[in-house]
Amino acid sequence: GRAFRKSAINGAKALDSLDEKWEGFSDSLRDKNKCDEATGRRLYDNGFRKDGTRIGNPVLGGLCKREPLLPLDESMVDGGFVLESAFNCALQAGAANGDAEALKRSIVKMKDLVRPSFDRSISEKTSEEEKK
């Protein structure tokens, strides 16, 4: 029993290692500049069958042309649309048995629990830019 399980595990580890090496080799051969026109993302192509259909689903990678991130509109976050929507969704999903006051107490309790960790992290930052 034990020897069989051990050999099965070792065999799976060996196959996993081989698969990882093959994936690395395969990725080294692909055209890293190939871009999907529809999405604007790099395309990791799995190839085509003889009939011209794709093999598997091509995986989309990073953006071909980098675009800078827009600044966060804090009015959407701080007491705004995002948090209010998340709160309502949590209530509808049954959080705190649908009790809004219990959910608010739970949120405050969680904030109090994690606040020291965030404060420590912020105090360890060296520059004002990192603290933002």
Span 42-54, pLDDT tens digits: 776 666 778 877 6
State the pTM of this model. Answer: 0.40
Q: Sort residue 47 into left (φ over 0), alpha (ψ -120 to 50) or beta.
A: left
Q: Where are the beta strands (DSSP E) in the chain?
A: 35-36, 41-44, 59-63
Measured at the CA of 82, the angle between CA 79 and CA 88, to 5 degrees, comes to: 90
CB-based burial, 85-124: b 16+ in 10 Å, e otherwise: eeeeebbeeebeeeeeeebeeeeeeeeeeeeeeeeeeeee
- Per-residue pLDDT of 103-123, as tens digits, reads 999 999 999 999 999 888 888
